[in-house]
Amino acid sequence: MPDSHLDAAVLASLQDVMEDEYPVLLDTFLTDSDERLRHLVAARQSADAQALRLAAHSFKGSCSNMGAVLLANLCKQLEEAARREQLDDVPALIEQIEREFAIVRILFRAERQRYR
């Protein structure tokens, strides 16, 4: 897996810890991430900086825990923009997050296929 998108060491650690439940973790992350993206978009549409900050913070933690380093970094940038109430930066950041998550989704689905 490309290092720029996923941290192989984090995934290896998760595999060791989760054992047979690792595929379930991957599935859960993908499902939860779709919901987190919906929260980001909804907060942007309502121009709710606080909701956007909280949603970005939550998504950042989830991505970080799963080794999605670039996605976590983009969420951190969005969280900081929302904290500063710089909402002009938000649409471009959410677009970047959506693009990066599309890549991560493909990589995690490929990872998931290894356990069928």
Answer whether residue 86 is part of any domain: yes
Confidence of residue 2 (pLDDT cuts 50, 70, 90): very low
Rounded average pLDDT over 97-116: 94
CATH number at residue 70: 1.20.120.160
For 52-78, what is each residue's pLDDT tens digit? 999 999 999 999 999 999 999 999 999
Confidence of residue 4 (pLDDT cuts 50, 70, 90): confident
Domain that holds residue 64: 8-113
Mean of per-residue pLDDT scores for the chain:
95
- Whether the per-residue pLDDT at 89 is higher than 80: the answer is yes
With pLDDT > 90 as the criterion, what percentage of the chain qualifies? Answer: 94
Answer whether residue 16 is part of any domain: yes
Answer whether residue 68 is part of any domain: yes
Give dist(CA 108, CA 23) in Å, integer: 9
Answer whether residue 2 is part of any domain: no
Answer whether residue 74 is part of any domain: yes
Answer whether residue 1 is part of any domain: no
Span between the terminal Cα atoms of the chain, in Å: 18
pLDDT at 3: 56
Rounded average pLDDT over 93-97: 97
Q: How many domains does the chain have?
A: 1
Answer whether residue 3 is part of any domain: no
Residue 83 phi, psi (nearest 5): -60, -40
